[in-house]
Amino acid sequence: MTMELGLLLLESILLVVTIILLVYSIHEGKQRDSLLKEMGRATRILTRQEYFFTLLDTMLDARREIIGCITGSPPSAVDAKMTRDVAAAIERMVKKGVRVRYLLPKYPDRLQVGVQYKKAGAEVHFSSCAMVHSLRYSIIDERVIVLGIPESTGEREATQKGYKIPSEELAVILKNYFNTCEQQVTIKDYLKEIIDHTGATPAHLAREYQVAEQDLTELLR
């Protein structure tokens, strides 16, 4: 093979590679534009009450799966009813065959909400990974996300506003984060972990975190 032929062959290979990269770049750009357009459908910020109403309405539209990454902060007197309404929605959807999963940060005071959602039929896990401390969202059937936003920075801050985002691409991304969040443990294992580390009894924990002692005892069986 002469040098001229070798250079011509190398140039042809580089041209083919360039064309492939160009086609891939165009395809990726179209997907990115599609994602931005879908996110743009969230036309307004939801207030705290609108956020919960929107979340409930969206949950009741579920057909297959509801995934939630939430703070699980102990509800105030004002928020207690909204928490009960979410638990009622979970129970209703589970009876319809919808799988409901929640991930909460590893704080003992989150047992109150965790136990309430577990009793309603949800699969409840706790984790110390960074994502569960910085994001709060619900995904319905991998097509709609209800994204919560705190008033100020901090994982202990209550959700004050939110967005409803119809985006299958973003739903898949957030679901992947949910599934790969490290150090996930079931609510039963987390309860055992708290007892092992603190030496507290279910009765002590029930008084401390406003949870029925019977519920904790049943979890430990």
pLDDT higher than threshold 90 for residue 8:
no
Least trusted range by pLDDT, from 40-54, 87-101, 136-150: 40-54
**Per DSSP, what are the bridge partners of residue 178?**
none
Mean per-residue pLDDT, 106-113: 94
Say which range, 32-36, 143-147, 154-158, has the weakest mean pLDDT. 154-158
Record the tokens describing residue 193, joined without a space: 């972990």
**Rounded distance, CA 67 to CA 192, Å?**
24
Using alpha carbons, select from 171, 174, 145, 147 the residue that is nearest to residue 161.
Answer: 147
Cα separation, 100 vs 123, in Å, equals: 6
Q: Give pTM, 2 decimals.
A: 0.75
User: Which CATH code fits 48-219?
Assistant: 3.30.870.10
Mean pLDDT of the chain: 82
Domain boundaries, the chain: 1-39, 48-219
Lowest mean pLDDT among 71-80, 111-120, 144-153, 205-214: 144-153
> Given this model, what pLDDT does residue 152 score?
52
Q: Are 66 and 99 in contact (CB under 8 A)?
A: yes
Buried b (16+ CB within 10 A) or exposed e, 43-76: eeebebeebbebbeebbeebeeebbbbbbbbbbe
Q: Is the pLDDT score of 28 beyond 70? A: no
Candidates 219, 119, 139; CA nearest to 179 is 139
Provide the token pair at 156.
């202990």
Within 10 Å of residue 159's Cβ, how many Cβ atoms? 21
pLDDT surpasses 50 at 43? no
- N residues, the chain: 221
What distance in Å separates the CA atoms of residue 101 and residue 136, rounded to the nearest whole number? Answer: 13
More confident residue, 85 or 7: 85
Q: CB of 89 within 8 A of CB of 121?
A: no
Q: What is the pLDDT of residues 74-106, one digit of tens each?
A: 888 878 888 999 999 999 999 999 999 999 999
